Structure 1
């Protein structure tokens, strides 16, 4: 037993001595171990792989400062001044007369100023803004990003899109790049730049909540919906993408008065560009008009048909209008205009407005279940009645 214990002690001393020698060698010659293992055909030990891959980093920018720096110089502040006439009562200076008659009716004027925003969109100094910002203004002043102030001339306005075109005479106006080739998509990050509450060059961020919104049954224009914060004074300002390109003109917010939050609208840049070009060319926007009112096709619950049937049903025909002259009647269901099928009432509004007045098109549909075809010569759409001013 003593012999076995001595043997084990002897072996332990040599193991400890060997480990100590190996430790000293590894300190003095760090690579000797790998060279010895390679000499006998063993590969160097590889570090163990991490149990889980590191999370993929988002490809989105950490900051939007570059986009703001690119777009902000083109966004201007607009101050629209107008004289407002109001009824009042003039009090007599003599206490006796004032006690007897109280006062006399009078009319007085006061100057009112509207705040808004605008975007410089051409080297000729054309500025896009909202019509409700400059409506009935006697004097329009524009404050540029670099501090210059310019008097603006109204070139023309379009009530249906709530757009107006101004012109300023300044040297080297900063022009915003347009995102005509990259239309906004639902989910895109967008930045709203404007003059909310007179605070000058304020930037807010959100996403595109929806596209193709129609805000009026009588209006063919479509809008971008966003949750980027838009407040009073943002009207006419820029909605830009993360590359600093203009995707829309901010125009309307639905505020807390409607128990809403984060619901704002902008006019898509492609629509705004068409309005700009027509106003610059002719001073107004021209749209085609059939001379009918229409709505969705009603479908009975037990008909077995989809809830939203294809086409648009005529609800009213304007006497003497293009449709009336062609023989279209109330309750007709319109299915095709020109070479295009009609998806629904909203689709017909867009296609009708896009046709040049004076053009002849074939309109097909159903009357009491029987197909019919008529040729209609479209007229120019009459001006819309101005609507109440928006909240932005």
Structure 2
């Protein structure tokens, strides 16, 4: 016999709920506009996307209510109508507010749209469905965060690589700003000074992303801004907003691998950071020649080792900043420190060789320390002076003339 198929009570309830979806969607948007101050500040396009998601969610709930087993993926699929940029328009917290507002609106409105017998079953199902939607929203935002994190990591590596290669320009500054880099102290200071730090990376199993995140967090806790990237077996950190990078790096040392950590000289800004980077990289290469070097060590403390390893900048710096001042005037300081070093660091032997009083030797050696920053009586400084004098004579045979 060809009569009408008799529908179940549950299916009839689902049909009545389906008929109310338009009114529920309209009421949901009105509730958002009324209860969420930030919603009205969105652009018309963004409000439209949210409206589509709300409509999609309510329609998906009806299908899920009709047959939860057949439509188990509905809570996740309801976000399919929103563009990828949706997660950048509103935060996860705001999404939760939207869901809460929509659920509260449905619970308040459903009694006016459906028979009283339908309300308990619909409300119970809505609670279960809302939980699934919340999990789906969290998944969407987690995936977006992973994608953004991966992109940020690539961008950060590009910025650091540009600094190392000396290609920092306005585009690099713009990319760094997109990563949140300000180059100023995170504790309220206004310093924009920058220093580059280079050391060995931890073993691969530590995870480059985790190390970079930890270094940035630790640097900001210490009051500095930071960019960080792995380059093969080395870890490069660009510190900003601090004139005392060594103090900051002491708090980051645990995130570097074994071996030396070299801190480049402080420069005025990110655009000049190649000078600091070049010195730090050269210092890392030369650091094994000074087994007793502190950790971290400043690149300028490694000038003699850097010059011996072929760093032309270190050679010129020693010749101009150390040897050069000693050649000024009549050159007695140069003769005195040279004789002192040749005499095995003996003041008395120096005085005898130069036919002067020992106190005169002491005075001149003190002046050497004041002019160059290196005390001849300190073994490490004496070594630096010895290398500087050798390089000065090689690079500038005529005392008193300028260095190239």
Q: Which has the larger helix fraction?
A: 2
TM-score (norm 1): 0.24
Indicate the structure whose relative CO is greater, using CA pairs within 8 Å and at least 6 residues apart.
1
TM-score (norm 2): 0.24
Q: Which has the larger strand fraction?
A: 1
